[in-house]
Structure 1
């Protein structure tokens, strides 16, 4: 955390330097290239061909116990993104603490009303260094406010990077965790893995804890990117949960959490690269429990 007394309003990059590190720059460049909105027909077809190649060779890979090069590449990139996501969240927290400490006298009520660092930074930028708002008690010295304004821009930049990383992880989940995707879908699979910290961590979690991922204590990293209702678990965002009868939703949630843990273990060990377990177990659950829906 940035020390206010030792900060002296010097160059923010000296204190908050994650966004200047080569690791951050390299990973974000790769992610942005992959998420480039100018996605030509050729590039789309190339990705489909790559995916078909992975599916065709996964059975052979499973028989030999080897890990496909494509799978390994995507898996490593997702792991790097996941680690960077955690670092970005910490950095956002540190920058937010600096902004909040400097603005506490200027915006005495803002801290209790706006808890999200992204929204707090936007509010500070919107109000500026003026005193015509009723809740603003005083102006900040111009030099201080310029640093606060710069820090707000940094929070917004880091938040944008976080959202891009989350989108990339969601896109690549089918390569990294095909069975988990088969059970809960790509987007929920990405949320579960990021909230747990890694695929391996998810595989080691009790099913009862997986059921709670996404509730109040787990939403900070994902809340500004995904439209997750406060206090609603990610498992509850799956199609199978939404279509379940109201009185059966808890049973469905427990089943999905249990199967998600098993699928994560299989994906971690690369035991079923085809993802057939995930797809099959979900379909079997639907077929055997038609009365639940």
Structure 2
């Protein structure tokens, strides 16, 4: 319920801020009415700033005779009071003692001044935009091309103040105000410009506006230096993480340390997102800016990280800044030790994330095995090698005799050259076959392939004898065996007679 109540308060205050800003730009109300209420949300604040810039650019200020009619902050009592107190504290240079950092932060006499100084810096940016628009509208009749050549508001004011009604820019020394390359472009453009000199009254109004813009810039620098010098005492842990400059900007955008301690990390990340004119009123469009680029994204710690890790760094820092703001709000760890510990922790994590991946280790060779190895190959491999072996005839075909045409053989559509084979007598020297490589039948198959052993022959087998006298003689292959058996029987069984059967 407390969270919902705080959100309702934030919404009401943001709406009031947006209404005040719109009234200031359109009706040129007194800048004293412009205040940054405590607890304003960053996203709505950026939107209101963008609307302010858009409406400031749409205003037609050619009919306005004095710049102080639209930018009243420079002569306001509010700015005078704040600057008097700031100068007093800076000249006093009082050393803060530990007793000054006790109790609620709102009770600190310098806390209210710091919050007002932060709020004034944003009002100064708004007035710089209005003064820039006033100068452009008035000086367009004299040098219309200068607006596009020098888009920065403060550089434009310095250039206009230096040029004035001078038609020959070669007589002026602009190198101390602008880059040398830009000075050359402006000098060339001034020779072909269609502008005409301004009247004395218009020129005086333009020069007065230039002085006002430069005075506003000096006022903002003074306020920023004061806030940075006091951030170490009011928000030591937040300053230890972000630095005094970024910490002062964030605390000013939030509306104070108390309001900053209530903002979650996701909203703190986008706080201070750069709009059309940026946070310094440069007038430059920011279409190419990062989507969530705020004060934290452009802080020194994030920018020192490589580009692919900046989003990660910004999220880590915003989370720790929320904790640091709550510690500073409760007046704990006044020496900033917690902030330094968190900063070192973030730095170590980012350094670890940016380390290159570990290299591939050198793999040791396996222990050599010098034992007996199985020889690969066999009949199949030997046959393949014999088929693809380069013979002497193949070598002779691939050779040619210098100065003599080789014989060719045409087979269908293919023509083959014979090389040295065509000039030989037909004899081919072939390599003698190696008997060890000769393919033979395995010993275990000899028995199956060989015929039966012994003298027994089949009765169907016969032989033919060719003689010049008898012609063809048919021979009984079993006749010799029968004669041999009869001779044996006569020798051993000659006196045997078969008994008479009864």
**TM-score, scaled to structure 2:** 0.46
Question: Partner residue of 2:321?
Answer: 260
Classify the secondary structure of the residue corresponding to 1:164.
helix
Determine the C-alpha separation between the residues in 2 that align with 1:98 and 1:247: 41
Q: Which residue, 41, 66, 74 being the options, matches 1:19?
A: 74
Q: Is 1:278 matched with 2:339? A: yes
Determine the C-alpha separation between the residues in 1 that align with 2:224 and 2:72: 21
Q: Which residue, 86, 103, 110 being the options, matches 1:74?
A: 110
Change (3 A) 1:197 1:121: farther
Q: Which residue, 125, 144, 156 being the options, matches 2:202?
A: 144
Question: Partner residue of 1:184?
Answer: 242
Q: Is 1:4 matched with 2:61? A: yes
State the Cα distance separating 1:188 from its structure 2 match. Answer: 2.5
> How big is the alpha-carbon RMSD for the aligned residues of Structure 1 and Structure 2?
3.4
State the Cα distance separating 1:79 from its structure 2 match. Answer: 0.6
Q: Which residue, 13, 25, 29 being the options, matches 2:84?
A: 29
Change (3 A) 1:68 1:108: closer
State the Cα distance separating 1:80 from its structure 2 match. Answer: 0.9
Return 5+ residue gaps in structure 1 as ranges: 37-42, 225-229
Determine the C-alpha separation between the residues in 1 that align with 2:151 and 2:224: 21
Q: Is 1:110 matched with 2:146? A: yes
Determine the C-alpha separation between the residues in 1 that align with 2:326 and 2:277: 23
State the Cα distance separating 1:265 from its structure 2 match. Answer: 3.7
Deviations 1:204-261 (A, max 9, x none): 555355445566438733478xxxxx95764356565466577654433321121113
Determine the C-alpha separation between the residues in 2 that align with 1:104 and 1:212: 36
Determine the C-alpha separation between the residues in 2 that align with 1:78 and 1:166: 10
State the Cα distance separating 1:107 from its structure 2 match. Answer: 2.0
State the Cα distance separating 1:120 from its structure 2 match. Answer: 1.3
Bigger mean CA deviation after superposition, 13-22 or 115-124? 13-22
State the Cα distance separating 1:158 from its structure 2 match. Answer: 0.8
Determine the C-alpha separation between the residues in 1 that align with 2:120 and 2:248: 15
Return 5+ residue gaps in structure 2 as ranges: 1-24, 29-59, 169-189, 283-287, 355-502
Deviations 1:21-75 (A, max 9, x none): 2221121123234445xxxxxx66x42xx2xx23x664xx4xxxx3268x71221
State the Cα distance separating 1:149 from its structure 2 match. Answer: 0.7
Q: Is the 8 A contact 1:179 1:279 kept in 2?
A: yes
Q: Larger helix proportion, structure 1 or 2?
A: 1
Question: Partner residue of 1:40?
Answer: none
Determine the C-alpha separation between the residues in 2 that align with 1:219 and 1:162: 16
Q: How many pairs align?
A: 266
Question: Partner residue of 1:227?
Answer: none
State the Cα distance separating 1:96 from its structure 2 match. Answer: 1.6
Bigger mean CA deviation after superposition, 14-23 or 146-155? 14-23
Change (3 A) 1:238 1:82: closer
State the Cα distance separating 1:110 from its structure 2 match. Answer: 1.9
Classify the secondary structure of the residue corresponding to 1:217.
coil
Deviations 1:252-288 (A, max 9, x none): 3321121113322443x43526244323322344567
**TM-score, scaled to structure 1:** 0.74
Q: Which residue, 161, 164, 174 being the options, matches 2:232?
A: 174
Deviations 1:141-163 (A, max 9, x none): 11111111111111111111011
Q: Is the 8 A contact 2:297 2:311 kept in 1?
A: no
Rg larger in 1 or in 2?
2
Bigger mean CA deviation after superposition, 271-280 or 256-265? 271-280
Determine the C-alpha separation between the residues in 1 that align with 2:196 and 2:90: 43
Classify the secondary structure of the residue corresponding to 1:159.
helix
Comparing both chains, which one has the higher relative contact order based on Cα–Cα distances under 8 Å and sequence gaps of 6 or more?
1
